[in-house]
C-alpha cells in the first residue's frame, strides 16, 4: 500500500444517508478525550454511484449542505469532524479525508478542490479505521 498523501481532492457536495443520518466509516477512538466523527462525502454522482455499487447497504444520496456543515463545525466538544473524500467502497484499505471546516470553506469559496488533512487506514484487528494526519 502506498503511504503517499493526497494533497487535494475534488470538493464534496453529497453524502449518503441511511434514513436520516449520513453514514461514515467506523473509526478507532483517537484517545480518551477526542472523538472522531467521519462521514462519507462525494463530489459528484459518478463517485457516489461507484460506492453504492460496492455497498450492500440501501443508501440514498443527499446534498452536503453548508448549513449542516456549519452546525457540525460549531458543535460543542473536542471531536475531530471529517469528510472522507470520494470513497469507492465501504472497506477500502486507505481513505483520505478533509476536515468539515475545510469542506465548508471550499464550498463557500466555490473552489473545485479541498486539501486533505487526514488519512484513515483500515485496521483488520479492530475492524475499524485508524486516523492519522496526512503528510504532504
Out of 3-7, 29-33, 114-118, the most confident range is 114-118
Q: Domain for residue 2, yes or no?
A: no
CB 67 within 8 A of CB 36: no
58, three cell numbers = 440501501
What whole-number distance in Å separates Cα of residue 122 and Cα of residue 79? 20
pLDDT of residue 24: 95
80, pLDDT greater than 50:
yes
3, pLDDT greater than 50:
no
Q: Domain for residue 3, yes or no?
A: no
The values of phi and psi at residue 62, to 5°, are: -150, 140
18, three cell numbers = 441511511
Q: What is the distance of C-alpha 108 from the center of its chain? A: 18
Beta-ladder partners of 40: 84
If you write DSSP's letter for every residue of 109-125 in order, what string do you get? TT-SEEE--EEEEEETT
Band of pLDDT at residue 4, cut at 50, 70 and 90: very low
Q: Domain for residue 28, yes or no?
A: yes
Domain boundaries, position 124: 8-133
Number of domains in the chain: 1
Q: What is the pTM of this model?
A: 0.89
Q: Domain for residue 73, yes or no?
A: yes
Sign of CA dihedral 11, 65, 131, 77: positive
Higher pLDDT, 77 or 87: 87
Q: Domain for residue 1, yes or no?
A: no
CB 120 within 8 A of CB 126: no
How confident is the model over 26-78, as pLDDT tens digits? 998 766 667 889 999 999 999 999 999 999 888 999 999 898 889 888 888 76
Amino acid at each position: 500500500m502506498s503511504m503517499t498523501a493526497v494533497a487535494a481532492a475534488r470538493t464534496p457536495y453529497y453524502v449518503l444517508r441511511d434514513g436520516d443520518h449520513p453514514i461514515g466509516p467506523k473509526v478507532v477512538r483517537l484517545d480518551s478525550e477526542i472523538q472522531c466523527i467521519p462521514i462519507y462525502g462525494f463530489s459528484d454522482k459518478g463517485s457516489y454511484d461507484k460506492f453504492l455499487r460496492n455497498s450492500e447497504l440501501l443508501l440514498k444520496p443527499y446534498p452536503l449542505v453548508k448549513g449542516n456543515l456549519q452546525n457540525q463545525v460549531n458543535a460543542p466538544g473536542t471531536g475531530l469532524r471529517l469528510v472522507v473524500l470520494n470513497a469507492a467502497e465501504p472497506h477500502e484499505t486507505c481513505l483520505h479525508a478533509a476536515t468539515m471546516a475545510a469542506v465548508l470553506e471550499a464550498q463557500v469559496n466555490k473552489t473545485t478542490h479541498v486539501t486533505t488533512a487526514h488519512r484513515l487506514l483500515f485496521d483488520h484487528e479492530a475492524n475499524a479505521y485508524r486516523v492519522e494526519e496526512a503528510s504532504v
